Structure 1
Amino acid sequence: PVLPKREYNVRNGFDIPFRFAPRNVFDVATHPRWAVGVLGRYLAAGGLPNFANYPSEYRANILSRGSARSMSLAPNLDWDCVRRIRTNWKGNLVIKGILRTDDALLALKIG
């Protein structure tokens, strides 16, 4: 597994954590109605956007730099991990990114 290469985000100056740059500061300053509507809504609701779908120990707002633990990919996951998940989870289980026939057959065998 690898992180996605989101060239459009890099090109538009968007990254996590968000970095202020002359271009994006100018863009917000020239769109005050948007800034008040979007940013004001977040501030009124209690703060900046964060990663609400992450466990609490991994949450940080989009301006934070290292204040929360980093969630990274787990390249050490293997089919034994999938077997343990299947044993503990009887609901639907979707495995994304299967590219080889033998892996698809093994996923089917595991359930």
Structure 2
Amino acid sequence: AKLSRAVTSNGDTGFSSTYQASTVTIVGIGFTQSAHARCRLREASGRLTVFAASARFVNSTAVTCVQPVGTQPTAPPTYIEYAHDGQIFSTAQAASYAVVGDPARAEVKVPSTKRL
């Protein structure tokens, strides 16, 4: 399958919150019905799988999987991947996806309105 994007049940494209379980719809082409289909979220390095879950076939252009509540926030880039057989994942055709938590070290700069 070739993945193009991941959309949550809240309508967010490419990300979801750590504080809630999210149904993620993976959109692409070439999906087939399989009792063994799985999705997983991995760091770009491939060293860490953030979560893995069963995938449910919707049609040839979409499957869904559930991101569990409490999934740790990820540092982009992270990608959601899909496997028809639950073993060989589509690493070359992954969709960008991140799990977000609370903002940290955020800085807001407000332009000065003072006239010289």
TM-score range, shorter chain: under 0.3
* Structure with higher helix content: 1
Greater C-alpha Rg: 1
Structure 1 length-normalised TM = 0.22
Question: With structure 2 as the length reference, what TM-score do the two structures score?
Answer: 0.21
